[in-house]
Amino acid sequence: MKRMHIHIAVKSLADSITFYSKMFGTEPTVLKTDYAKWQLDDPKVNFAISARGAAEGLNHLGIQVDAPEGLAEMKTRLDQLQTELIAEEGTACCYSRSDKYWVNDPSGIPWETFHTLDSIPVFNESPDGADACCTPSSMPSVSTISINSISTKNKCGA
């Protein structure tokens, strides 16, 4: 099984938790002082928000797989994209230890494919506590898209 993953950087974690809990009809499955995650079955999505100083808006998109074989299948697909692929094995990020592959789409939006191995008690294992995960620092042209830059105008003229 594959699950869509969406991670948004937010201004106010408390306000966003209230908003998304009402929208999804349930409280977060993971709740920390700087992070919340809803592991939803309807819709099938891993939706995460964090307030760690990143620019507000879309942080990254991803596909979470439930087995190592699913991650191997995704890597085969990613290898065909002819773009830089960054592998992270056993990395600590977002209160989890995971194996991951990262690519950027043609617009520079980072995509993470990952298999979660275990939960951990810290956001990451950066020695200075900086936000050292969510997108690899060595990934070129990683961009954060501001929600304010997305037009809500109906493009079909309706």
Residue that has been written with the tokens 């094995």 in this structure = 89
Per-residue pLDDT, 154: 35
pLDDT band, very low/low/confident/very high, at 102 (cuts 50, 70, 90) = very high
Region 91-98: what's the mean pLDDT? 88
Per-residue pLDDT, 2: 87
Q: Is 6 helix (H, G, I), strand (E, B) or coil?
A: strand
CATH number of 6-149: 3.10.180.10
> Does residue 90 contact residue 67 with C-beta atoms inside 8 Å?
no
Domain ranges, ordered by start, for the chain: 6-149
Q: How many helices (H) and strands (E) does the chain have?
A: 2, 8
In eight-state DSSP terms, residue 149 is G
Q: Is the pTM of this model over 0.75?
A: no
pLDDT tens by residue, 117-136: 998 888 777 765 555 567 77
Region 2-28: what's the mean pLDDT? 90
Flag whether pLDDT at 95 surpasses 60. Answer: yes
Sign of CA dihedral 11, 155, 47, 61: negative
Residue that has been written with the tokens 């099984």 in this structure = 1
